[in-house]
Amino acid sequence: MAPRREARGIGAALIFCAALLYSAVGHAGASGYLAVMAFLGTAPSEMRPTALVLNLLVAAIGTFQFVRAGHFRWSLFWPFALGSIPAAYVGGRLALPGNWYRIIVGALLLLSALRFVVSLRAADVARRALPRPLAIVTGLALGLLAGLTGVGGGIFLSPLLLMAGWADLRTTAATSAAFILVNSAAGLLGQGAQLGALPPDVFGWAIAAVCGGVIGSYLGSRRLGGPALRATLAAVLVVAGVKLMLR
């Protein structure tokens, strides 16, 4: 009983840290939650719906904080969301074999690490206008990946916005938070039948994620710049991604 209680406490603490760090840069933490669940030995069938539930909670908090701080731009958000929402629903209804799931999620963790490394030197200024047809098609692809893997899609959208020069860092964070929110909701609708497979620890994890999300998104939207946080996350995600892929 004691080892189980200790593992539950470790899981909640790690979920809290992931939510705090990710939400500070406009993410909801799905790749971090997946890494924690892989470390705890959570079954692949439980990982995807659990990550989406936690993502939805933290993304809602992050969206509220960044909108309230004045960093959200509807004109940047809606073309990506238009394509992503139906695709995330479809992705949520599909299932991947366990081995393929671990490989794909591991690769997503590494891509997430790359996102933070790339953004360390990204110019904090919007340099060009968003081509809406391209944004809609891109949103469709990202939404499908979001629903399929349980990752909200922000790990792909953020570097795209920054490298293409379509948004500065804080506007990117605000757009990513809202993008993750709608994709997580659509993915959960597609996952409806699997929500009964949530692990028993999900309620404690949800409380930890909400607490971390409140603190992190407040700091990110109003106080912190974030380069050091992103560098730290990059190192953690490389280790987690490689561990998951070689499991």
Q: How far apart are the C-alpha atoms of 200 and 42, rounded to whole Å?
A: 11
Say how many CA atoms lie within 13 Å of 199 toward its Cβ: 23
Q: How far apart are the C-alpha atoms of 241 and 173, rounded to whole Å?
A: 23
Percent over 90 (pLDDT), the chain: 29
Q: How far apart are the C-alpha atoms of 99 and 206, rounded to whole Å?
A: 27
Amino acid at 14: L
Contact of 66 with 72, CB cutoff 8 Å: yes
Residues 6+ apart with CB under 8 A from 61: 23, 210, 213, 214, 217
For 125, phi and psi rounded to 5 degrees?
A: -155, 145
Q: How far apart are the C-alpha atoms of 36 and 33, rounded to whole Å?
A: 5
**How far does CA 124 lie from the centroid of its chain?**
21
Residue 207, SS3 per DSSP: helix
Q: What is the pLDDT of residue 1?
A: 45
CA dihedral sign of residues 121, 125, 129, 132: positive
Residue 213 above 90 pLDDT? yes
Residue 2 above 50 pLDDT? no
Give the range of the structural domain holding residue 213, as residue numbers without chain letter. Answer: 2-245
| Tens of pLDDT, residues 129-159 | 889 999 999 999 888 877 777 777 887 788 7
Q: How far apart are the C-alpha atoms of 132 and 172, rounded to whole Å?
A: 16
pTM: 0.82
Mean pLDDT on 205-234 = 82
| Radius of gyration of the chain measured on its C-alpha atoms | 16
Residue 123 above 60 pLDDT? no
Amino acid at 87: A
Unique residue bearing structure tokens 């904090």: 124
Mean pLDDT on 168-182 = 90
Please give the tally of structural domains in the chain: 1
Mean pLDDT on 163-186 = 88
Helical spans, DSSP H, in 70-201: 74-93, 98-119, 132-149, 154-164, 169-190
